[in-house]
């Protein structure tokens, strides 16, 4: 039976001032990782936590640190910090700092500073000069300040490495080690990672002393609560598939995060969404810190419905109420799939993750399925004629009336929300394969809601379907060439 006494923060040994401010923020029940971690951290133990954003890990390490700081007397000395929290991305660092200030509430005086790249050092250096309680930093900028003698870590008692696996992936191993070395051995160290890769284990071995190990999935475990499915589609047809999904009221895409593999891709998707009548904000490494924060803010407060993000920029994003995650492209690293879909279904809410997969991405999809040990339901088809030259309606049987054609490129040109079967827009506004039978076109959106659709895209070939179309296209191509040469 569950021990009731562990079911509130007071029983975990935290000071009343902190538990009061937690109650005021609506935190009355510790999450699993908080219950496991907080009492041990209050005893001064080192910790190795396998946990993702969404598990409540920030409070798990943050509350004991705040309790420890409250127990200290006097002010931090100039140029020093009492606690140092390292995070791989600026967004995660911002979020951690916000959380700490929320946990501290109005009664505890807490001096914090964010030390991030991509913004001016001036205020960071100025604050540190006076001495602070907590520095939340990305490793690169902090190492710069250390090298310029703007910060001393000799009085730092708490060191947290959040999302250690990601920091290593991003090549921060050298600064992380250099920073830890400066802090010295009198510290309490906590390392959190979503995965336990060999490199993380190595780092943990060198930095942690006899750590306790805790493990927690995000609240409302992603795998169970998130409805995942795949829509097969030609790479260029993804734009239309996305438009169809966004326009589909039954799909209920209220707050959507779309993942692109590259920064350039994220910009392109955002631009196309704008052209197609959907306001979207983008967040990736080429954007300034201010632009990234503004995009996140608009998305979090609901003024922008769609956020387009790259994997790195999105790590640690904690926005409530994301109804859908769309993988516009599959990630190179299958683990990122898990991180991506974890953006929805937070705090026990249910969410939907839709992956658009083209023919070149099938092996990545298999890698993902191997990792999550599940076969995902698949609908749609890779459009085999996608790369064929623009054809007129005459050449494709079964064109729905009103479909845009090469001959009449402007027709319906702005009606992007009208489901168009795999119809691929081109620069000139003409539609490729605008004439595929309605059934095929309805495919992505409608089939997509059928999670029982056969796993893998092995739909039986249709009598009048893609194969026939492909054959026709080749024949028509030759015929068009003959026409151009005046042979027709």
Where does this chain bind ligand AMP (CB under 6 A)? 27, 29-31, 34, 53-59, 99, 318, 347
In the complex, the smallest distance separating the C-beta of residue 323 from ligand AMP, rounded to whole angstroms, is: 17
Closer to ligand AMP by CB, 57 or 420: give it: 57
Closer to ligand AMP by CB, 29 or 332: give it: 29
In the complex, the smallest distance separating the C-beta of residue 288 from ligand AMP, rounded to whole angstroms, is: 24
Task: Identify the residue whose tokens are 């993750």.
Answer: 353
In this chain, which residue has its C-beta nearest to ligand AMP? 58
Report the residue count for the chain: 488
The distance of Cα 446 from the centroid of its chain, to the nearest Å, equals: 26
Closer to ligand AMP by CB, 99 or 405: give it: 99
Closer to ligand AMP by CB, 41 or 242: give it: 41
In the complex, the smallest distance separating the C-beta of residue 367 from ligand AMP, rounded to whole angstroms, is: 26
Closer to ligand AMP by CB, 350 or 450: give it: 350
In the complex, the smallest distance separating the C-beta of residue 98 from ligand AMP, rounded to whole angstroms, is: 9
In the complex, the smallest distance separating the C-beta of residue 27 from ligand AMP, rounded to whole angstroms, is: 4
Closer to ligand AMP by CB, 30 or 421: give it: 30
In the complex, the smallest distance separating the C-beta of residue 467 from ligand AMP, rounded to whole angstroms, is: 49
Task: Identify the residue whose tokens are 């569950």.
Answer: 2
In the complex, the smallest distance separating the C-beta of residue 369 from ligand AMP, rounded to whole angstroms, is: 26
Closer to ligand AMP by CB, 95 or 240: give it: 95
For residue 420, what are its two tokens? 């168009």
In the complex, the smallest distance separating the C-beta of residue 377 from ligand AMP, rounded to whole angstroms, is: 28
Closer to ligand AMP by CB, 54 or 380: give it: 54
């Amino acid at each position: 039976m569950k021990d009731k006494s562990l079911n509130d923060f007071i029983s975990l040994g935290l000071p009343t001032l902190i538990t009061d401010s937690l109650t005021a923020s609506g935190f009355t029940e510790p999450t699993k990782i908080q219950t496991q971690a907080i009492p041990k951290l209050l005893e001064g133990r080192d910790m190795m936590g396998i946990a993702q954003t969404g598990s409540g890990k920030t409070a798990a390490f943050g509350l004991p640190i705040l309790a420890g700081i409250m127990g200290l007397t006097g002010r931090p000395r100039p140029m020093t910090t009492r606690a140092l929290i390292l995070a791989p991305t600026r967004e995660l660092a911002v979020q951690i700092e916000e959380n700490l200030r929320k946990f501290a509430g109005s009664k505890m005086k807490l001096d914090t500073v964010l030390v991030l790249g991509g913004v001016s050092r001036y205020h960071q250096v100025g604050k540190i000069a006076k001495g602070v309680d907590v520095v939340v930093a990305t490793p690169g900028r902090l190492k710069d300040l250390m090298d310029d003698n703007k910060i001393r870590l000799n009085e730092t008692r708490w060191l947290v490495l959040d999302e250690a696996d990601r920091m290593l992936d991003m090549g921060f191993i050298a600064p992380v080690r250099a920073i830890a070395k400066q802090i010295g051995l009198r510290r309490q160290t906590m390392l959190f990672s979503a995965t336990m890769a060999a490199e993380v284990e190595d780092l943990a071995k060198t930095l942690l002393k006899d750590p306790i190990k805790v493990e927690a999935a995000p609240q409302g475990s992603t795998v169970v609560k998130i409805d995942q499915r795949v829509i097969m589609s030609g790479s260029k047809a993804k734009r239309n598939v996305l438009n169809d999904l966004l326009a589909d009221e039954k799909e209920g895409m209220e707050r959507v995060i779309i993942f692109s593999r590259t920064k350039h891709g994220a910009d392109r998707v955002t631009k196309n969404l704008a052209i197609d009548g959907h306001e979207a904000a983008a967040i990736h490494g080429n954007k300034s810190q201010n632009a990234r924060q503004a995009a996140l803010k608009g998305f979090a407060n609901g003024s922008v419905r769609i956020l387009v993000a790259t994997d790195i920029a999105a790590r640690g994003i904690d926005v409530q109420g994301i109804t859908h995650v769309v993988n516009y492209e599959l990630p190179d690293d299958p683990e990122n799939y898990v991180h991506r879909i974890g953006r929805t279904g937070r705090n026990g809410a249910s969410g939907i993750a839709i992956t658009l997969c083209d023919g070149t991405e099938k092996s990545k999809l298999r890698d993902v399925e191997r990792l999550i040990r599940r076969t995902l339901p698949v609908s749609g088809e890779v459009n085999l004629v996608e790369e064929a030259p623009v054809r007129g309606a005459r050449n494709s049987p079964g064109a729905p009336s009103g479909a845009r054609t090469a001959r009449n490129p402007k027709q319906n040109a702005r009606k992007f929300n009208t489901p168009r079967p795999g119809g691929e827009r081109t620069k000139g506004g003409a539609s490729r394969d605008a004439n595929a039978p309605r059934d095929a076109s309805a495919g992505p959106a409608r089939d997509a809601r059928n999670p029982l659709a056969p796993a893998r895209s092995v739909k039986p070939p249709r009598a009048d379907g893609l194969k026939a179309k492909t054959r026709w296209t080749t024949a028509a191509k030759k015929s068009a060439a003959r026409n151009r040469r005046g042979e027709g």
